[in-house]
Amino acid sequence: MPSLKAAVQLDYFAGMIEKETGIRFSDGTYYQLEARLEELASKFGYKAGIEELYHTILDNQDPALKKLIFEKATNNETYFFRDPKLFNALETRFIPELKEKFGAPIRIWSTACSSGQESYSISILLQKLGIPAAGFDYLCSDINEAILERARTGKYSQLEVQRGLSTPDLIRYFRKSTVDSSWEVVSSLKDSLRFARINLLEAWPHKKKFHLILCRNVLIYQSIENRRQIMRRLVDALEPGGYLAMGAGESLVGISAEIVQVEHNGAILYRKKS
């Protein structure tokens, strides 16, 4: 349990992070925040740890340091084809349905793409369904600019490509580096995606509505008020007849009368009523 002084400092950082990003740290998750801040302090030479980081922010209000803290606060746990039931349902029912209903291009938005595994998994799936790059418009966003840059490069370690990727997919859609053990996504996948930093609590830059939105395991870190606000805006950003995919522990039930829950082979998506 942190000392009173340490708790005050963690309260300050937690409030600053929630105000900017909506990500909420409770008393029960302060240990995660403390570990991330200690790691950041160590990396940038703050020998007194969080306390020095705290006083630096109070004294200087350094925007660059604040940005690093906000980025450190985000949870970037992801891997290829995370939740196989969802990807199976997208491949066997929902994307073919969207293709037939709306034609090309199918507009897709990954709202928290992290280091890109979700986006490249969807792109692989689209290629398997015979939908070329010209057949879809894919926006991939995240609040963390540093992690977005990783997604843009499409480079992954041996351990990362082993998480969720089949050997045939790895051989077909990735190229092994000649200088280290990393793998890089082929250009046909990488060039078909657009990456942008978007904070879901702020104004969204796009005007067109989407046929498929993925917002998985994002809103569980938000307050109830922010969660409802973002969910309503996501429903509004959907084309009538389009689908929204949430995380396994998240639900849109009771948020909007415009959506209906649809289940297919164990996967649940939400369709906006036509």
Give the pLDDT confidence of 171-213 residue by residue, as tens digits: 999 999 888 889 999 998 888 899 999 999 899 998 899 999 9
Say yes or no to pLDDT of 76 above 70.
no
The torsion angle over the Cα atoms of residues 41, 42, 47 and 48, rounded to 10 degrees, is 50
Using one digit for the tens of pLDDT, what is the confidence trace for 113-156? 999 999 999 999 999 999 988 899 999 999 888 899 999 999 99
Computed over every residue of the chain, the mean pLDDT equals: 88
Contact yes or no for 59/144 (Cβ under 8 A): no
73 vs 224: which has the higher pLDDT: 224
Question: What pLDDT band is residue 2 in, cutting at 50, 70 and 90?
Answer: low
The DSSP bridge pattern shows strands 267-272 and 259-264 to be antiparallel
Q: Which helix (H) or strand (E) holds 69?
A: helix 63-73
Domains and CATH numbers, the chain: 4-73 (no CATH), 84-272 (3.40.50.150)
Question: In this structure, which long-range contacts are made by residues 188-192, counting pairs with CB atoms below 8 Å and at least 24 apart in sequence?
Answer: 188/127, 188/133, 189/120, 189/123, 189/124, 189/127, 189/154, 190/120, 190/152, 190/154, 191/133, 192/123, 192/133, 192/136, 192/138
Measure the N-to-C terminal CA separation of the chain; round to a whole number of Å. Answer: 52
Q: What is the pLDDT of residue 109?
A: 98
| pLDDT (average), residues 10-26 | 79
Q: What is the pLDDT of residue 112?
A: 92
